[in-house]
Amino acid sequence: MLKNKKLLLKRLFISILFLFTLTGLFASGKQEAEASSEVSSEEISINITDMRGRTVSLPATADKVIALGAGSLRLVSYLDAADKVIAVEDAGHGREKSEYMFSNLATYRLAHPEYKDLPSIGSSENHEGIIAAEPDLIISSAIDVAQLDQLQQVLDIPVFAVDVDVEFYDTDTFYTELEKLGKILGKEERASELVSGIKSAMLDLQARSEKVLDPKNAYAGGMMYYGPADLFRTTGDYIPFDFTGTKNVMPTNPTGNLQPYMTSLEDVIAASPDYVFIDSANINLSKSGFADNKQVLEEEVPAFSEKQVYSTFVYKYYGTNWENQLINVYYVGNILYPDLFSDITVKDKAEEIWNLFFNKSLDYDTVVAKQKGGPGQVDWFN
């Protein structure tokens, strides 16, 4: 009897010990789970300052993106994140109702023809359509902070603002923009690769421009900016001139925004450029403008009398074609300073730069055909 009682107590003790052990393991597991939950909670969002100075809480990994406004989808394309785009606006993607069907003038659409097959959200005003698409991130090129905040509040979706007005004059801002986009799109390595490639091109161009001993006088016309125009839409801040040590015969935009503006026949005559470069986006309208003033231009302007008139790749359409702008620098340098750019062929350089910006190959002749123009001497004098 005593023996059985001792055996019973021993079993009871073992059972109690086992129960305490289980309780401890459960508590430990719960703490680990809670800790893991806290880490996961921290990892599902990040706080980042966008290009308009707004601090935005974004998903750590954005897999469903909609880009709104001119230039924003181009930047997403540069980051090789086209697979994250779930819907597009009507504007600029072959759906807009316009007599000017210029969709291909934005090179990123040639690099990603699949965009035109994506569902449409219409525009940034179509809040219901955007919400229905269920993106986890909106990238917008809107400038007004209040507008951006309101959009984010209405949609209840994070809105990250990009700066599409930045030019290569301010490369640090452009690099920062690419790096921030790389972070929020999970494309940091791609952003680093792109920034490195642009820096290399900038150093190369600087080295060449420093050797220019006889700066040429040139005029840029036919700029596409908020719609078509002829050769009298010009710019006083033209990177292909500034980055090749060339004198731009036109002043900067009187508003100070560095954008193209309309000038006059009298101003072009007074400026007396030796070379003229026309944006291919408006090559036909510019040719008509030349024809209307042919006699006086050929008599009064050296570039026209000497037939030193050339076309370039499209610089602005639905924002800035930064990749084409860089190609145009090399092309203008090749025309004005052939000795300093003798190792450059526009075809090879263009394909190299497109590959840098889009991480995929584009054929030079195909792009020229799609954009209905590219670098070359114009045929206006035949």
Give mean pLDDT in consecutive 10-residue pieces for the chain, a chain of 382 residues: 45 46 46 41 77 94 92 96 94 50 84 91 90 96 96 96 94 98 96 98 97 97 84 95 98 87 95 97 93 95 98 91 97 98 97 97 95 92 80
Question: What local confidence, expressed as pLDDT, does residue 229 receive?
Answer: 86
β-bridge mates for residue 139, sequence order: 67, 160
Instruction: Return the closest-CA partner of residue 112 out of 133, 141, 84, 137.
Output: 84
Question: What local confidence, expressed as pLDDT, does residue 21 receive?
Answer: 47
Instruction: Provide the token pair at 226.
Output: 């908020």
Instruction: Return the closest-CA partner of residue 249 out of 321, 301, 195.
Output: 301
Interior/surface letters 307-334, b for 16+ CB within 10 angstroms, e for the rest:
ebbbbbbbbbbbbbbbbbbbbbbbbbbb
Secondary structure element (H or E) that encloses residue 89, with its range: strand 88-89
Tell me whether residue 27 is exposed, middle or buried, using C-beta atoms within 10 angstroms of its C-beta: 0 to 12, 13 to 18, 19 or more. exposed
pTM of the entire predicted model: 0.86
Give dist(CA 382, CA 372) in Å, integer.
Answer: 19
β-bridge mates for residue 220, sequence order: 277
Q: Are strands 45-49 and 55-59 parallel, antiparallel or unpaired?
A: antiparallel
Question: What local confidence, expressed as pLDDT, does residue 35 receive?
Answer: 39
What's the half-sphere exposure (Cβ side, CA atoms, 13 Å) at 50?
Answer: 25
The three-state DSSP-derived secondary structure of 16-74 is: HHHHHHHHHHHHHHHHHHHHHHHHHHHHCEEEEECCCCCEEEEECCCCCEEEECCCHHH
Give dist(CA 221, CA 207) in Å, integer.
Answer: 27
DSSP 320: B
Give dist(CA 41, CA 126) in Å, integer.
Answer: 31
DSSP string computed for 242-297: HTTTPEESSPPPTTSS---EE--HHHHHHH--SEEEEEGGGHHHHHHHHHHTHHHH
What's the half-sphere exposure (Cβ side, CA atoms, 13 Å) at 268?
Answer: 30
| C-alpha distances out from residue 272 to 233, 304, 334, 372, 380, Å | 16, 10, 21, 28, 19
β-bridge mates for residue 161, sequence order: 140
DSSP 85: B
Question: What local confidence, expressed as pLDDT, does residue 316 receive?
Answer: 87
